[in-house]
Structure 1
């Protein structure tokens, strides 16, 4: 019995040593987090982990010789295009995964996912399609302008679709 209490005491010493070592290592890290990191995070109420850019004037709102405004509109266009491409890519992956998972029942069970992808791909093509890989904000704006002119001249084709 005496040897059991000695082992107990020995285990208690290891626990104390482990706790003391933990406090030595964890103390500065916890203090740094509580004194610096958390106050900075509480001041910054920004809930996103990715950068959010402010919206800038579009190319149709820029003056003809305003290079800064045109540059900002171009940057906004490129960011919007990347976001739209990623949305289409995610929807395409969802559609393919659903078809793979459901197998023969995919036409019925994946109808909503397929419709979402088809709609997003169509909208992407309407906005960015047929203007080339090196297109800029001006060519996209011209495409939109020509499409609106065509729709005004051909209102019956809009009614059918």
Structure 2
């Protein structure tokens, strides 16, 4: 205790000591802020500033590390779940941003790692809800439960996809 804490402070520290603790915390744990430039791996603007430099808060790519421009982007196949009106589409792509720009949809519900084989399995799994021979399905309890399981703990499906791309780049060295 170092005297009278500022109004509403949870710990009895004066302004000087509270500032010292804040500075120490930023040195020890980093400070989340906007990156100087978008992340070259995932495009996120959110970063963590540490004494050693900036890192992307989404994929943890260190700002300044060079991505080998001669190497193609890694292939990350995903099965996507999107909603439009009262329908859900289950599709697959290696470039979800490009693919979903071409489709009318109100929101991305979830991404699942997988290629056409996983997509076919999901189509078979939810065949009772399929609308004709399309890739669109009526929302059912089973389908909604599956999507909820895929998105559990994920605030934004795009962040999950960015993480998968980052991991694929890191694995190839």
Query: TM-score, normalization: structure 2?
Result: 0.23
- Normalised to the residue count of structure 1, the TM-score between the two structures is 0.24
Structure richer in helix, relative to its length: 1
Q: Which has the larger radius of gyration?
A: 1
Q: Per residue, is there more strand in 1 or in 2?
A: 2
